[in-house]
C-alpha cells in the first residue's frame, strides 16, 4: 500500500508540469504552453502552434514537428534525438544544451535561435535558415547540403561536415575559437571562414 501511494504521487507531480492532466492532448499543450520534463516521445505534432511553449527537459525523441510553429519556444536540455522539424518555424527558440542527434531541420527557420552547447551529430540542416544562430560550444557534425549560415556564432564549438566544405555558406559567421573540420582552432578575425 505504501509503495502504491508513492507511485500515485509521483505520477501526479509529473503530470502537474504538463498542465495537470494525466492524458495530454494537443489542445491542452497549445493552451497551457508548458510541459516541462514531459515524456512526449513519438508524438505527432505536425502543424501545431506551440509558439512560446516551455518544453524544458522534455523527452521529444522521434517526435514529428513538421510545419509546427515553435517561435520563442523554451526547449533547453530537451531530448530531440531523431525528431523531425522539417519546415518548422523556430525563430528565437532556446535549445541550449539540447540533444539534437539525428534530428531533421530541413527547410526549418531557426533565425536567432540559441543552440549553445547542443549535440548535433548527424543533424540535417539542409536548406535551413540559420541566420544569427548561436552555436557556441556546440558539437556539430551535420548533414548540411545547401546550408547557408549567416552571422552565426561558433565560439568554442567544434565543426565537422559530411558534405564538401564549399556546400556550406558561412556569410558573416563568427568562427574564432571554433575547432574546424581539420582539427585546427580558428583564430581571431575568422568571420565567414576559418583563419588558422
pTM over the 0.85 mark: no
pLDDT of residue 45: 94
Q: Is residue 17 part of a domain?
A: no
Q: Is residue 87 part of a domain?
A: yes
CA dihedral 48, 144, 169, 105 (to 10 degrees): 10
Summarize the chain as % helix, strand, coil (round to 5): 15, 20, 65
Q: Is residue 142 part of a domain?
A: yes
Q: Is 58:41 a contact under the CB 8 Å cutoff?
A: no
Angle formed at CA 158 by CA 154 and CA 160, multiple of 5 degrees: 110
Q: What is the pLDDT along the chain (196 residues), one digit of tens a residue?
A: 443 333 222 222 233 344 433 345 667 777 788 899 999 999 999 999 999 999 999 999 999 999 999 999 999 999 999 999 999 999 999 999 999 999 999 999 999 999 999 988 888 888 888 888 888 888 776 665 555 565 666 666 556 554 444 356 566 777 777 777 677 788 888 887 788 8
Q: Which has the closest alpha carbon to 176: 186, 161, 166, 184?
A: 186
Please, which residues bridge with residue 195 across strands?
Answer: none
pLDDT of residue 191: 80
pLDDT of residue 86: 97
By CB atoms closer than 10 A (0-12, 13-18, 19+), residue 17 is middle
Q: Is residue 132 part of a domain?
A: yes
C-beta neighbour count of 25 within 10 angstroms: 10
| Cell numbers standing for residue 34 | 508548458
SS3 readout for 19-59? CCCCCCCHHHHHHHCECCCCECCCCECCCCECCCCECCCCE
pLDDT digit string (tens) for 62-95?
A: 999 999 999 999 999 999 999 999 999 999 999 9
Q: Is residue 52 part of a domain?
A: yes
Q: Is 103:79 a contact under the CB 8 Å cutoff?
A: no
What CATH number should be reported for the domain holding residue 109?
A: 2.160.20.80
Q: Is residue 26 part of a domain?
A: no
Q: Is residue 150 part of a domain?
A: yes
pLDDT of residue 18: 44
Q: Is residue 2 part of a domain?
A: no
Q: Is 131:112 a contact under the CB 8 Å cutoff?
A: yes
Q: SS3 for 22? A: coil
Structural domain containing residue 162: 34-196
pLDDT of residue 147: 58
pLDDT of residue 96: 97
If one counts the domains in the chain, the total is 1
Amino acid at each position: 500500500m505504501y509503495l502504491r501511494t508513492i507511485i500515485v504521487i509521483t505520477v501526479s507531480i509529473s503530470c502537474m508540469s504538463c498542465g495537470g492532466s494525466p492524458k495530454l492532448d494537443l489542445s491542452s499543450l497549445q493552451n497551457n504552453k508548458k510541459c516541462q520534463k514531459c515524456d512526449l516521445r513519438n508524438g505527432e505534432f505536425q502543424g501545431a502552434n506551440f509558439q512560446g511553449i516551455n518544453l524544458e527537459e522534455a523527452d521529444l525523441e522521434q517526435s514529428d514537428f513538421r510545419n509546427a510553429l515553435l517561435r520563442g519556444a523554451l526547449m533547453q536540455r530537451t531530448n530531440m534525438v531523431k525528431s523531425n522539424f522539417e519546415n518548422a518555424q523556430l525563430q528565437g527558440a532556446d535549445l541550449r544544451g539540447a540533444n539534437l542527434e539525428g534530428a531533421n531541420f530541413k527547410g526549418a527557420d531557426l533565425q536567432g535561435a540559441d543552440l549553445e552547447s547542443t549535440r548535433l551529430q548527424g543533424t540535417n540542416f539542409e536548406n535551413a535558415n540559420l541566420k544569427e544562430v548561436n552555436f557556441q560550444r556546440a558539437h556539430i557534425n551535420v548533414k548540411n547540403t545547401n546550408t547557408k549560415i549567416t552571422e552565426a556564432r561558433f565560439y568554442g564549438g567544434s565543426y565537422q561536415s559530411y558534405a564538401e566544405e564549399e556546400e556550406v555558406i558561412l556569410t558573416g559567421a563568427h568562427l574564432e575559437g571554433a575547432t574546424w573540420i581539420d582539427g585546427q582552432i580558428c583564430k581571431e578575425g575568422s568571420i565567414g571562414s576559418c583563419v588558422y
